[in-house]
């Protein structure tokens, strides 16, 4: 938590400097927490109890959610805002910094989350894709800005995920040096070691309830269900299957 907050503070301080140079007003103070009362502005302290910007009550440490705009909320309050009211804009600054929605199998679902920070080779840190509060993504993972990780999925190690990928399901675990490119849907599956998955908008890939590892390269379009693919196997499908 503290590491992410420090990164956000640095990011917004940099934005403020650029805005000041261009005579533009920043959306948020960035290095502070702000609540709806306006007069109460608190610097972040690890043991502090910021005020929820919706309920206007102090937030217990284990209930604190900090949006990517650095406004803070009680998790229950912000979940109601996103999941029940279907609002993705911060209640204070109206920026889309608190969550995302996914259309999957004909159903639209809303999630509270945060953008993943990608650590670039240059030493910079840049916003990547969305991760919901129930999922985990490691610090060294690269998560493309259009990728979504949700419903208790876990992604670790040197994994790289590019394109409009959906990574979800409580049994989903991606680690090692795995790479996923393009339009790929991974549900309740394990992908690890040096596995490479390559889908496109025209040739999407669905991987469901499967285990893929080793020196495997998969190209779309295809749907893989309840499969175990060992090393050295290469799959190239000519069958076009719908992406849902």
Instruction: Please write the tens of the pLDDT for every residue from 67-111.
Output: 888 788 899 999 999 999 999 999 888 889 999 999 988 889 999
Count of domains forming the chain: 2
Same domain, 154 and 194: yes
Which residues form the domain of 74?
1-78
Same domain, 70 and 164: no
pLDDT: is 11 or 103 the higher one? 103
- Predicted local distance difference test score (pLDDT) of residue 46: 54
- Tens digit of each residue's pLDDT (9 = 90 or more) over 66-75: 888 878 889 9
- Predicted local distance difference test score (pLDDT) of residue 8: 66
Same domain, 119 and 41: no
Q: Is residue 86 in some structural domain?
A: no
Could you tell me which of 92, 105, 98, 93 has the C-alpha nearest to residue 80?
98
Q: Which two tokens stand for residue 57?
A: 């009550």
Report the range of poorest mean pLDDT among 53-62, 77-86, 120-129, 132-141. 53-62
**pTM for the full predicted model:** 0.81
- pLDDT band of residue 137 (cuts 50, 70, 90) is very high
Q: Is residue 90 in some structural domain?
A: no
Same domain, 53 and 142: no
Same domain, 104 and 220: yes
Listed residues 10, 45, 78: the one ending a domain: 78
First to last CA, the chain: 34
Same domain, 109 and 16: no
Place of tokens 């779309």: 220
Q: Is residue 150 in some structural domain?
A: yes
Over 90: is that where the pLDDT of 27 sits? no
Same domain, 198 and 103: yes
């Amino acid at each position: 938590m503290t590491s992410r907050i420090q990164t956000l503070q640095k990011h917004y301080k940099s934005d403020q400097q650029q805005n000041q140079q261009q005579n533009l007003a920043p959306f948020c103070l960035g290095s502070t927490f702000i609540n709806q009362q306006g007069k109460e502005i608190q610097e972040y302290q690890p043991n502090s109890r910021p005020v929820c910007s919706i309920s206007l009550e102090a937030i217990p440490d284990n209930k604190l959610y900090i949006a990517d705009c650095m406004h803070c909320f009680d998790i229950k309050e912000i979940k109601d805002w996103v999941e029940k009211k279907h609002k993705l804009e911060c209640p204070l600054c109206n920026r889309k910094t608190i969550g995302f929605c996914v259309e999957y199998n004909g159903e639209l679902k809303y999630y509270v989350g945060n953008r993943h920070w990608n650590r670039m080779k240059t030493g910079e840190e840049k916003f990547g894709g969305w991760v919901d509060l129930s999922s985990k993504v490691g610090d060294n993972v690269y998560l493309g800005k259009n990728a979504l990780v949700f419903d208790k999925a876990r992604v670790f190690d040197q994994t790289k995920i590019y394109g409009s990928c959906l990574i979800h399901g409580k049994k989903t675990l991606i680690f090692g040096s795995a790479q996923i490119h393009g339009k790929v849907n991974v549900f309740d599956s394990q992908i690890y070691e040096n596995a490479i998955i390559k889908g496109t908008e025209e040739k999407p890939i669905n991987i469901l309830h499967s285990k893929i590892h080793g020196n495997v390269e998969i190209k779309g379009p295809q749907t893989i269900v309840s499969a175990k693919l060992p090393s050295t196997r290469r799959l190239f499908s000519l069958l076009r299957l719908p992406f849902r």
